[in-house]
């Protein structure tokens, strides 16, 4: 047995134009037939306007149809071309569910005000029975040109769909699906139990206003009625919230998959986020938005978080894991951009280019070489030797610098870079000091007055990592005293949430100091790379269950799902859960085609591919296993 209803579905009455297909057939036929006609665009627009008025219930359908036919100059060859075109314009959700249409063909009818000549060839290819298609028919002359329509066909008249459904005299429940007012009239007449306004291709407010349900796709309709379907859940019901103006390719990636996306340019504070995150399944942020334990307590449907940046310290990773929420980031996508900014600022500062440029803007010509040096031969000290630090190491060596680094974790050095044993040692030998550490709380003010005092006089100082790792007052004092000859700062303890807020800092106006508004990774290339990378990880997790690349979740890289249903079980990491699950599988005679398990400190992640025959009771037993945090089924 299947988890989905075993009872045959009700009779399903489906509209064709803008429902079964993405377009209006008659409008497209006009566009084909009038190709090369000097008034083609105007005529097609008139036909389209008449179509919309009829669909919205703003004019007599019969009058509109006859006016459209009068404007149409087409023949059989144009219809053949239209059929070929319509085959490429079948609505995605109907294409995905051809199996349902085929298996339930006796229960499904297409009732359309369009024309059989182009509907039957398209609909039957997806499993619709030819004798279950009710539509208008063209009249042709001897040359095959359309000269009119069959006036005796009730679908050419007002209320035609009602007359067809009445004549069918279907016993049992009847559900109507369509985008037009004439589809709603089936419910209004009492011949259909429910009317679903279909909005995958076009949304007509006058139609949705009178609908029992709004079906954003055929998947949505099937899900609402617990019928078998190609997708385990309709993606239109999955809400994605993208904050901080992430790259448009990220938004497109989710929209192309059919998700419901909300896009916000700025960051949100904790109170705002607590309110906005309700009913959100996926959230995408950058570095300014903080996802705290309190925020997660309000996230009643959250399944995944995407950090469109390298760092994840703005997210309570442990709490997210405990709630079964996977977090993904972009650890490499913007490293080159940060490295190039560091190298550029290093050269500008050590050459005193900023000061020279500022003077020249005031008309002062200072050609002196005093205070200007080459980077070649200088010692670059890096605090932190991760993906950015290692890449900067390679570029700096190519410039002729000696590279030293300090990291609390043992790292294999690249090229001729040398690891030092203490931070104090690194500070004392560096001509240029660059910070590349993460934002954990322990790193707060790791560079303060004491550390500046340990540095060489005239050091060049760069912070392109996290704002709170440097005591800004201590840095300002070090610049004023000459201890720091030049500084480049891209991150600050307190940053504006949006471009409209003013920026304030003790570093403003200081000589040979480059201040940038947290743009280390803000290049078109980096943001586009991140915009591709993070959604790809989130979509793999949502669509396939793969958690590979997650920073807080047991990492499992899964094969694509084939001829099975995939059970995803997230549970507290306590002994015996897998044994209990396997007992349930055995008790219910469940055929397992694949099984995977990974755990971390907080949670266990079990993925089981099973045969499609199982009961609702089996699913309920799995959900009730002690320690279960979250359960999903994919197919």
24 is catalytic: no
Catalytic residue among 80, 425, 495, 621: 495
- Residues 353-403 have pLDDT tens digits of 998 998 899 999 999 898 899 999 999 999 999 989 999 999 999 999 999
Q: Distance (Å, rounded) from C-alpha 402 to C-alpha 381?
A: 9
Phi-psi map region of 537: left, alpha, beta (phi>0 left; psi -120 to 50 alpha): alpha
- Residues 397-426 have pLDDT tens digits of 999 999 999 999 888 899 999 999 999 999
Cβ atoms within 10 Å of 598's Cβ, excluding its own: 15
Closest of 276, 277, 267, 273 to residue 244, by C-alpha: 267
Beta bridge partners, 631, equal 569
Residue 313 pLDDT greater than 80, yes or no: yes
pTM for the structure as a whole: 0.73
125 to each of 8, 15, 122, 221, 356, how far by Cα in Å?
Answer: 22, 16, 6, 21, 73
Asked whether 171 and 189 are in contact (CB, 8 A), the reply is: no
Beta bridge partners, 373, equal none
Phi-psi map region of 111: left, alpha, beta (phi>0 left; psi -120 to 50 alpha): beta
What SS3 state is found at 29?
helix
Catalytic residue among 468, 518, 565, 566: 518
Query: If you average pLDDT over residues 88-99, what whole number do you get?
Result: 95
Query: If you average pLDDT over residues 217-230, what whole number do you get?
Result: 89
Instruction: State the pLDDT at residue 230.
Output: 79
251 is catalytic: no
Instruction: State the pLDDT at residue 8.
Output: 61
Per-residue pLDDT band for 25 (boundaries 50, 70, 90) equals very high
Beta bridge partners, 26, equal none
Cβ atoms within 10 Å of 520's Cβ, excluding its own: 25
Q: Distance (Å, rounded) from C-alpha 5 to C-alpha 616?
A: 9
What SS3 state is found at 263?
strand
Characterize the bridge pairing of strands 11-14 and 194-198: unpaired
Tell me which of 318 and 333 has the higher pLDDT: 318
* 497-506 contact pairs (CB < 8 A, 24+): 497/266, 497/267, 497/268, 497/269, 497/288, 498/265, 498/266, 498/267, 505/472, 506/472, 506/473, 506/476
602 is catalytic: no
Tell me which of 37 and 541 has the higher pLDDT: 541
Rg from Cα positions in the chain: 32
Q: Distance (Å, rounded) from C-alpha 378 to C-alpha 372?
A: 13
Helices (H), 174-333: 181-188, 205-208, 218-224, 248-256, 270-276, 293-298, 317-322
- Residues 320-366 have pLDDT tens digits of 999 999 999 998 888 999 999 999 999 999 999 998 998 899 999 99
Catalytic residue among 204, 251, 466, 565: 466
CA angle 339, 341, 346 (to 5 degrees): 95
> Helix, strand, coil: what percent of the chain each, to 5?
40, 20, 40
Q: Distance (Å, rounded) from C-alpha 70 to C-alpha 196?
A: 32
Cα 168 to chain center, whole Å? Answer: 44
Instruction: State the pLDDT at residue 49.
Output: 82
What SS3 state is found at 115?
strand
Instruction: State the pLDDT at residue 5.
Output: 43
Which region among 106-115, 231-240, 247-256, 421-430 has the lowest average model confidence (pLDDT)?
231-240
Residue 86 pLDDT greater than 60, yes or no: yes
- Residues 254-297 have pLDDT tens digits of 998 889 999 999 899 999 999 999 999 999 999 889 999 999 99
Sheet with 194-198: strands ordered across: 133-136, 108-115, 11-14, 174-178, 194-198, 213-215
Per-residue pLDDT band for 479 (boundaries 50, 70, 90) equals very high
Mean pLDDT, rounded, of the chain = 92
């Amino acid at each position: 047995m299947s988890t989905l209803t075993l009872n045959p579905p009700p009779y399903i009455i489906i509209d064709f134009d803008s429902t079964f297909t993405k377009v209006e057939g008659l409008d497209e036929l006009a566009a084909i037939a009038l190709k090369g006609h000097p008034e083609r665009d105007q005529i097609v627009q008139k036909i389209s306007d008449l179509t919309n008025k009829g669909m919205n219930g703003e004019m007599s359908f019969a009058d509109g149809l006859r006016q459209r036919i009068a404007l149409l100059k087409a023949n059989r060859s144009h219809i053949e071309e239209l059929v070929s075109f319509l085959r490429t314009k079948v609505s995605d959700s109907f294409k995905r569910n051809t199996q349902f249409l085929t298996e339930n063909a006796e229960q499904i009818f297409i009732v359309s005000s369009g024309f059989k000549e182009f509907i039957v060839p398209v609909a039957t290819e997806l499993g619709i029975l030819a004798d279950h298609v009710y539509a208008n028919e063209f009249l042709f002359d001897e040359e095959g040109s359309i000269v009119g329509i069959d006036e005796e066909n009730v679908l050419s008249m007002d209320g035609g769909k009602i007359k067809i459904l009445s004549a069918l005299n279907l016993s049992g429940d009847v559900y109507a699906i369509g985008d037009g007012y004439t589809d709603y009239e089936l419910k209004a007449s009492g011949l259909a139990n429910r009317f679903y306004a279909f909005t995958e291709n076009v949304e007509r407010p006058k139609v949705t206003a009178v609908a029992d349900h709004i079906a954003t796709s055929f998947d949505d309709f099937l899900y609402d009625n617990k019928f078998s379907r190609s997708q385990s859940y309709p993606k239109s019901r999955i809400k994605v919230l993208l904050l901080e103006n992430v790259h448009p390719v990220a938004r497109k990636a989710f929209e192309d998959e059919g998700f419901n996306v909300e896009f916000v340019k700025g960051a949100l504070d904790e109170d705002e986020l607590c309110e906005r995150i309700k009913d959100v399944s996926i959230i995408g942020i950058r570095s300014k938005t903080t996802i705290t334990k309190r925020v997660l307590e309000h996230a009643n449907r959250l399944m995944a978080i995407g950090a469109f940046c390298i760092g994840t310290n703005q997210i309570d990773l442990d709490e997210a894991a405990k709630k079964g929420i996977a977090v993904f980031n972009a650890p490499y996508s913007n490293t080159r951009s940060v490295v190039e900014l560091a190298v550029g600022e290093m050269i500008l500062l050590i050459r005193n280019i900023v000061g020279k440029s500022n003077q020249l803007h005031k008309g002062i010509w200072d050609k002196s070489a005093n205070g200007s040096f080459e980077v070649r031969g200088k010692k670059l000290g890096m605090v932190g030797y991760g993906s950015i630090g290692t890449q900067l190491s390679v570029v700096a060596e190519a410039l002729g610098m000696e590279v030293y680094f300090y990291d609390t974790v043992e790292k294999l050095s690249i090229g001729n870079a040398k690891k030092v044993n203490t931070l104090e040692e690194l500070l004392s030998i560096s001509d240029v000091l660059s910070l590349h550490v993460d934002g954990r709380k322990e790193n707060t003010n790791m560079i303060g007055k004491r550390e500046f005092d340990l540095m060489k006089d005239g050091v060049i100082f760069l912070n392109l990592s996290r704002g709170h790792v440097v005591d800004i007052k201590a840095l300002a004092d070090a610049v004023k005293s000459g201890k720091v000859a030049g500084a480049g700062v891209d991150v600050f303890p307190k940053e504006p949430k949006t471009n409209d807020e003013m920026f304030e800092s003790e570093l403003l106006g200081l000589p040979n100091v480059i201040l940038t508004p947290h743009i280390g990774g803000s290049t078109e290339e980096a943001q586009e790379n991140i915009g591709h990378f993070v959604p790809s990880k989130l979509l793999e997790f949502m669509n396939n269950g793969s958690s590979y690349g997650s920073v807080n979740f047991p990492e499992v890289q899964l094969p694509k799902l084939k001829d099975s249903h995939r059970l995803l079980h997230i549970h507290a990491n306590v002994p015996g859960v897998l044994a209990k699950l396997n007992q349930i599988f055995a008790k219910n005679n469940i055929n397992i085609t694949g099984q995977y398990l990974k755990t971390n400190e907080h949670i266990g992640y079990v993925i089981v591919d099973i045969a499609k025959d199982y009961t609702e009771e089996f699913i309920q037993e799995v959900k009730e296993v002690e320690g279960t945090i979250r359960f999903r089924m994919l197919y």
